Structure 1
Amino acid sequence: MLSIQKLYKSYPTPQGPLPVLQGIDLELASGASLALMGESGSGKSTLLHLVAGLDSADSGRILVAGHNLAALTESQLADWRRTGIGLIFQQFNLISSLRVADNLAFQARLAGRHDPAWQAELAKRLGLGDLLQRYPEQLSGGQQQRVALGRALAGRPALVLADEPTGSLDEGTSDEVLDLLLELLAENATTLLMVTHSQRVAARLQRRVTLRKGCIFDADTA
């Protein structure tokens, strides 16, 4: 599903290029889940942004379902972000002017995959059935993150990219949200790449790797 090959990324500074990723190799099979760990500044979010097509690498390849992201035009990348992936963030990033129902439908409508029956099932499974007419500011943090999960999954993407999706939640709420996410992903054979600082959260995923000084280490050797 996802193949990252010899990926390099640096950022310009007054002192010269600052290397962030230095020859990353990573494989993730369809339906698998992987936790990407590492200290702040180790390049975790940079790698996630590259896979999402939000930034471009200096060299190397990112293949998703056999397609090289570097070979796509800006228009094709935009279509990839709409239809190929679901994004989940720590800060929810819900649209404050839209009710819960419309936030849930937002990504699926962009992808041309809005399915009212699937959205209704998601809302029920996520415990949002009685909250559909509320606005994000009227929800708790845990409820907002459930909406964010539903929005990411409503279009049935093949790949979900999650950046600290439970980082702002208390432990109990984090466990509940993670349970729902993993359950829904497993049922739909969706692939998950998650950035997390939490060993407890990472242990729930099938595989763990650590980014250190721009290089990847498997959990057993990190």
Structure 2
Amino acid sequence: MLQVQGVLKSYATPQGSLAVLAGVDLHLGERSSLALMGESGSGKSTLLHLVAGLDRVDGGSIRVGEQRLDQLNEAQLAHWRRTEIGLVFQQFNLIGSLRVDDNLAFQARLAGRFDSQWQAQLVERLGLGDLLKRYPEQLSGGQQQRVAVGRALASRPGLLLADEPTGNLDEATSDDVLQLLLDLLRDTPTSLLMVTHSPRIAARLDQQVVLHRGRVVPADAR
């Protein structure tokens, strides 16, 4: 599902070029989950943004399914993001002016793949039935993140990218949201790449790797 090969990424700073990724290799199979860990500033979010097509590599390649992202122009990348991946963020990023039911359907409608039966199943399994007519500001953090998970999975994307998705939640709520996410993934063709600082959360996924000195190493290799 995901192949990252020799990816390089640097940023200009007043002190000169800063190399963040120095030849990253990563592989994620279909229907698999992988936790990406690393110290603050190691480039975890940078790599996730590259895989999401939100930024461009300086070298190397990223392939998601049959598509090489470095071969797409900006319009093609925007269409690809709408239709082929799901995104879950630490800050939830729900649309404040939309009620829960419309937030849930938003990504699937953009992708042209809204399925009312699948949406109803997501609502039931995420425990959102009594919340559909509320607005995000009327929800707890855990409830908002459940909506964000449902929105990301509503279009049945091939790849779900999650950046510290439980980072703003207490431990018990974090465990509940993660369990719901993993249960749903078992019933979809979706693979999961999750950035997390928590070894406890990472251990729940199929694979764990660490970004260290600009490269990916097994979690137990440092």
Matched, 1:202 2:202: yes
Equivalent residue number for residue 111 of structure 1? 111
Secondary structure in structure 2 of the residue aligned to 1:220: coil
Secondary structure in structure 2 of the residue aligned to 1:77: helix
CA displacement at 1:220 relative to structure 2: 2.4
Q: Tell me, yes or no, if the aligned pair for 2:160 and 2:193 is still in contact at 8 Å.
A: yes
Equivalent residue number for residue 211 of structure 1? 211
RMSD over aligned CA atoms reads 0.7
Matched, 1:137 2:137: yes
Equivalent residue number for residue 4 of structure 1? 4
Q: Tell me, yes or no, if the aligned pair for 2:152 and 2:160 is still in contact at 8 Å.
A: yes
Render the CA deviation track for 1:32-91: whole Å, top value 9, x for unaligned: 100000011100000000000000010000011132100011111011100110000001
| Residue pairs, 1:87-102, within 5 angstroms | 87-102=87-102
Render the CA deviation track for 1:194-216: whole Å, top value 9, x for unaligned: 00001110000000000112111
Secondary structure in structure 1 of the residue aligned to 2:210: strand
CA distance in 1, matches of 2:79, 2:174: 31
| Residue pairs, 1:158-169, within 5 angstroms | 158-169=158-169
| Residue pairs, 1:48-87, within 5 angstroms | 48-87=48-87
Unmatched runs of 5 consecutive residues or more in structure 2: none
CA distance in 2, matches of 1:187, 1:154: 12
Q: Tell me, yes or no, if the aligned pair for 2:38 and 2:197 is still in contact at 8 Å.
A: yes
CA distance in 2, matches of 1:139, 1:99: 11
Q: Which amino acid aligns with 1:94?
A: L
Aligned residues: 222
Q: Taking structure 1 as the reference length, what is the TM-score of the superposition?
A: 0.99
Q: Taking structure 2 as the reference length, what is the TM-score of the superposition?
A: 0.99
Render the CA deviation track for 1:11-36: whole Å, top value 9, x for unaligned: 01122110000000111101110000
Matched, 1:20 2:36: no
CA distance in 2, matches of 1:67, 1:109: 22
CA distance in 1, matches of 2:139, 2:66: 40
Q: Which amino acid aligns with 2:118?
A: W
CA distance in 2, matches of 1:29, 1:213: 24
Equivalent residue number for residue 148 of structure 2? 148
Q: Tell me, yes or no, if the aligned pair for 2:209 and 2:217 is still in contact at 8 Å.
A: yes
Q: Tell me, yes or no, if the aligned pair for 2:208 and 2:218 is still in contact at 8 Å.
A: yes
Identity over aligned residues, as a percent? 69
